[in-house]
Structure 1
């Protein structure tokens, strides 16, 4: 084997391992911060203050996560139990009427409240509004200030 190729492969593996180590450190530090709750392979932070959807997302990203992505009924039930009118990581800002999660994945299973999303006055950001029902999502003006929920996945 060519020594230069071998060294290049080792350097690439070292960079990958170093990056993974740094990501694990960030996640570990997140878990140890007050206000974060562990649930099903992720940690979640529910704000006590209010921000716009983008400001909320920026906060979550600064903590190594993003706004919450709801992938199951169990996760939806978990979010509803928090009993907060709050932003989640759902938007149709890119293409009106095509709802996507902040990681770019399409909306597969939804929990929209009856009559939602209704798109009134360019409501392009998703939130949990009617947390007393499983179907609790609402579309809202992204400029409104609401509580929010961050998610930092521990298991990919």
Structure 2
């Protein structure tokens, strides 16, 4: 009788362990800086400011919390950014070379969502923002010294 009980207990323990492995919930461990006010979307956390700063001040803030200004890599991410309905800085600039737009990580701009007529080539407008968020093509080039809200992006993977 004892052998049967032990065998049954081992079998139940093994079954429990298998179920736990198969059905375990994977928890994301967010960086300490990702707290209230951040929104999660497709492997990144995003923070939309409630105050306004210049493009560089905005970038400095994002970097101070382990993020950077948002890089938009897809139509879905563009739609996500537009959903905030906020005139805001994104991580796009041509300040190094006029007309050569790059993201804050140094990658070149390949897919864009510029408004009609933008970028308009004004040499004092070297920073990218989302301006007309009611349209998919919402980007604008702006004077970097203007104060706007901004959006930070922190990769979670």
- The alignment's TM-score, normalised by the length of structure 2, stands at 0.80
RMSD: 1.3
In 1, Cα distance between equivalents of 2:65 and 2:110: 26
* Structure 2 match to 1:44: 46
> Is the 8 Å Cα contact of residues 131 and 139 (structure 2) preserved in structure 1?
yes
> Is the 8 Å Cα contact of residues 98 and 123 (structure 2) preserved in structure 1?
no
Unaligned runs of 5+ in 1: 1-23
Give 1:83 deviation, angstroms.
Answer: 0.3
Summarize the alignment of residues 114-153 of structure 1 with structure 2, pairs less than 5 Å apart. Answer: 114-153=116-155
Give 1:30 deviation, angstroms.
Answer: 2.6
* Structure 1 match to 2:96: 94
In the TM superposition, structure 1's runs of 4+ consecutive aligned residues that sit over 2 Å from their partners are none
The match for 1:76 among 75, 78, 92 is 78
SS across alignment from 1:28? coil
> Is the 8 Å Cα contact of residues 30 and 36 (structure 1) preserved in structure 2?
no
> Is the 8 Å Cα contact of residues 72 and 78 (structure 2) preserved in structure 1?
yes
Deviation string 1:63-104 (CA, Å, 9 cap, x unpaired) is 101000000000000000000000000000000000000000
In 2, Cα distance between equivalents of 1:59 and 1:144: 16
Unaligned runs of 5+ in 2: 1-27
* Structure with greater helix percent: 1
Give 1:121 deviation, angstroms.
Answer: 4.8
SS across alignment from 2:40? strand
SS across alignment from 1:37? strand
SS across alignment from 1:116? coil
In 1, Cα distance between equivalents of 2:145 and 2:43: 31
Q: How many residues matched?
A: 130
Give 1:119 deviation, angstroms.
Answer: 2.4
In 1, Cα distance between equivalents of 2:124 and 2:147: 16
SS across alignment from 2:76? helix
In 2, Cα distance between equivalents of 1:43 and 1:82: 14
* Structure 2 match to 1:6: none
* Structure 2 match to 1:29: 32
In 2, Cα distance between equivalents of 1:121 and 1:104: 20
